[in-house]
Amino acid sequence: VTALEGVEREPSLSPDGSQVAFIWNNDLYVKAVDSGEPHRIASNVFETAWSHDGQWIATFRNVGPPGQHKLLLVAPTGGSEREIGSFHNHAFRSLDWSLDGKTIALAHKERPELSPAVFLVEIRTGKTQRITTPPPEANFDGDPTFSNDGLRLAYFRNFSTNGIGRFEI
Protein backbone atom coordinates (compact mmCIF):
# COMPACT_ATOMS: atom_id res chain seq x y z
CA VAL A 1 0.00 0.00 0.00
CA THR A 2 2.91 2.35 0.77
CA ALA A 3 6.59 2.41 -0.08
CA LEU A 4 7.90 5.45 1.75
CA GLU A 5 11.49 5.73 2.88
CA GLY A 6 11.94 4.95 6.55
CA VAL A 7 9.60 3.28 8.99
CA GLU A 8 5.85 3.27 8.44
CA ARG A 9 4.07 1.98 11.52
CA GLU A 10 0.77 1.57 13.34
CA PRO A 11 -1.43 0.99 10.27
CA SER A 12 -5.20 1.07 10.69
CA LEU A 13 -7.73 0.35 7.94
CA SER A 14 -10.81 2.53 7.63
CA PRO A 15 -14.07 0.69 8.41
CA ASP A 16 -14.92 0.39 4.71
CA GLY A 17 -11.38 -0.78 3.87
CA SER A 18 -10.78 2.01 1.35
CA GLN A 19 -8.16 3.98 3.30
CA VAL A 20 -5.27 3.28 5.62
CA ALA A 21 -4.07 5.58 8.40
CA PHE A 22 -0.45 5.15 9.51
CA ILE A 23 2.40 6.90 11.26
CA TRP A 24 5.45 7.97 9.26
CA ASN A 25 8.19 10.16 10.76
CA ASN A 26 5.94 10.76 13.79
CA ASP A 27 3.17 12.23 11.64
CA LEU A 28 -0.26 10.77 10.88
CA TYR A 29 -1.00 10.07 7.23
CA VAL A 30 -4.06 8.77 5.39
CA LYS A 31 -3.90 7.14 1.98
CA ALA A 32 -6.39 5.43 -0.31
CA VAL A 33 -5.56 1.72 -0.37
CA ASP A 34 -5.79 1.33 -4.15
CA SER A 35 -3.98 4.48 -5.36
CA GLY A 36 -2.84 8.01 -4.70
CA GLU A 37 -0.38 9.70 -2.43
CA PRO A 38 -0.54 9.76 1.38
CA HIS A 39 -1.78 13.00 2.97
CA ARG A 40 -0.42 14.24 6.29
CA ILE A 41 -3.27 15.09 8.65
CA ALA A 42 -1.53 15.50 12.04
CA SER A 43 2.02 15.91 13.34
CA ASN A 44 4.00 14.62 16.33
CA VAL A 45 1.59 11.76 17.06
CA PHE A 46 1.47 8.01 17.63
CA GLU A 47 -1.30 5.38 17.59
CA THR A 48 -4.12 5.19 15.06
CA ALA A 49 -7.67 3.98 15.59
CA TRP A 50 -10.58 4.69 13.22
CA SER A 51 -14.05 5.32 14.58
CA HIS A 52 -16.56 2.73 13.35
CA ASP A 53 -18.37 5.33 11.24
CA GLY A 54 -15.10 6.38 9.56
CA GLN A 55 -15.50 10.04 10.60
CA TRP A 56 -12.55 10.24 13.03
CA ILE A 57 -9.12 8.84 13.74
CA ALA A 58 -8.04 8.78 17.39
CA THR A 59 -4.36 9.43 18.05
CA PHE A 60 -2.01 10.58 20.83
CA ARG A 61 0.29 13.63 20.72
CA ASN A 62 3.39 13.92 22.91
CA VAL A 63 3.12 16.94 25.23
CA GLY A 64 4.53 18.21 28.49
CA PRO A 65 6.45 15.92 30.81
CA PRO A 66 7.70 12.54 29.52
CA GLY A 67 4.86 10.09 29.04
CA GLN A 68 2.16 12.77 29.03
CA HIS A 69 0.02 12.67 25.89
CA LYS A 70 -3.11 14.33 24.57
CA LEU A 71 -5.82 12.16 23.09
CA LEU A 72 -6.92 13.78 19.83
CA LEU A 73 -9.58 13.13 17.24
CA VAL A 74 -8.66 14.05 13.67
CA ALA A 75 -10.88 13.86 10.59
CA PRO A 76 -9.36 11.62 7.89
CA THR A 77 -9.43 14.64 5.56
CA GLY A 78 -7.38 16.71 8.03
CA GLY A 79 -8.37 20.07 9.42
CA SER A 80 -8.86 21.02 13.04
CA GLU A 81 -8.15 18.54 15.79
CA ARG A 82 -10.43 17.85 18.73
CA GLU A 83 -8.67 17.34 22.07
CA ILE A 84 -10.39 14.83 24.37
CA GLY A 85 -8.01 14.83 27.35
CA SER A 86 -4.52 14.35 28.68
CA PHE A 87 -3.23 10.91 29.64
CA HIS A 88 -0.07 9.18 30.73
CA ASN A 89 0.24 6.48 28.10
CA HIS A 90 3.03 3.94 28.11
CA ALA A 91 3.28 3.61 24.30
CA PHE A 92 1.78 0.14 24.11
CA ARG A 93 -0.94 -0.25 21.47
CA SER A 94 -3.70 1.24 23.46
CA LEU A 95 -6.72 2.65 21.64
CA ASP A 96 -10.04 1.17 20.54
CA TRP A 97 -13.45 2.72 19.84
CA SER A 98 -16.74 1.46 21.21
CA LEU A 99 -19.25 0.43 18.53
CA ASP A 100 -21.51 3.40 19.28
CA GLY A 101 -18.57 5.82 18.93
CA LYS A 102 -19.22 7.38 22.34
CA THR A 103 -16.19 6.02 24.18
CA ILE A 104 -12.59 5.05 23.60
CA ALA A 105 -10.79 2.37 25.59
CA LEU A 106 -7.16 3.21 26.32
CA ALA A 107 -4.22 2.30 28.53
CA HIS A 108 -3.40 5.01 31.06
CA LYS A 109 -1.22 5.42 34.14
CA GLU A 110 -3.38 7.37 36.59
CA ARG A 111 -0.57 8.19 39.05
CA PRO A 112 3.23 7.58 38.96
CA GLU A 113 3.10 4.84 41.59
CA LEU A 114 0.38 2.88 39.77
CA SER A 115 0.75 0.46 36.89
CA PRO A 116 -0.95 1.40 33.61
CA ALA A 117 -4.53 0.15 33.49
CA VAL A 118 -7.41 0.15 31.00
CA PHE A 119 -9.82 3.10 31.10
CA LEU A 120 -12.88 4.13 29.15
CA VAL A 121 -12.97 7.77 28.05
CA GLU A 122 -16.26 9.42 27.16
CA ILE A 123 -15.71 11.35 23.92
CA ARG A 124 -18.21 14.12 24.63
CA THR A 125 -16.94 15.02 28.12
CA GLY A 126 -13.47 13.45 28.48
CA LYS A 127 -14.67 11.74 31.67
CA THR A 128 -12.71 8.56 32.48
CA GLN A 129 -13.71 5.28 34.10
CA ARG A 130 -11.12 2.76 35.28
CA ILE A 131 -11.89 -0.73 33.94
CA THR A 132 -8.91 -2.77 35.19
CA THR A 133 -6.56 -2.77 38.17
CA PRO A 134 -3.39 -4.77 37.56
CA PRO A 135 -2.36 -6.88 40.57
CA PRO A 136 1.04 -6.12 42.17
CA GLU A 137 2.77 -8.92 40.22
CA ALA A 138 1.67 -7.42 36.85
CA ASN A 139 3.54 -4.64 35.04
CA PHE A 140 0.60 -3.19 33.16
CA ASP A 141 -2.72 -3.71 31.41
CA GLY A 142 -2.95 -2.50 27.81
CA ASP A 143 -4.03 -3.22 24.26
CA PRO A 144 -7.79 -2.89 24.95
CA THR A 145 -10.06 -4.22 22.20
CA PHE A 146 -13.85 -4.24 22.12
CA SER A 147 -15.58 -7.45 21.03
CA ASN A 148 -17.46 -7.39 17.71
CA ASP A 149 -20.79 -7.18 19.54
CA GLY A 150 -19.47 -4.34 21.75
CA LEU A 151 -20.45 -6.12 24.96
CA ARG A 152 -16.98 -7.15 26.17
CA LEU A 153 -13.51 -5.66 26.32
CA ALA A 154 -10.37 -7.79 25.99
CA TYR A 155 -6.98 -6.51 27.15
CA PHE A 156 -3.42 -7.72 27.62
CA ARG A 157 -2.00 -8.09 31.14
CA ASN A 158 1.81 -8.12 31.19
CA PHE A 159 3.63 -9.98 33.96
CA SER A 160 7.29 -9.50 32.98
CA THR A 161 9.71 -7.35 31.06
CA ASN A 162 10.13 -10.01 28.34
CA GLY A 163 6.55 -9.71 27.08
CA ILE A 164 5.05 -12.67 28.90
CA GLY A 165 1.45 -12.00 29.65
CA ARG A 166 -2.07 -13.06 28.85
CA PHE A 167 -5.21 -11.67 27.33
CA GLU A 168 -8.11 -11.13 29.70
CA ILE A 169 -11.78 -10.38 29.05
Question: What is the structure's pLDDT at 169?
Answer: 60
Q: What is the mean pLDDT of residues 148-169?
A: 78
Q: What is the mean pLDDT of the chain?
A: 88
CB atoms within 10 A of CB 168: 12
Q: Which residue has the higher pLDDT, 94 or 140?
A: 140
Give me the mean pLDDT over the 24-53 stretch.
Answer: 93
Residue 63 has pLDDT above 60, yes or no: yes
- pTM, to two decimals: 0.87
Q: Residue 27: pLDDT above 90?
A: yes
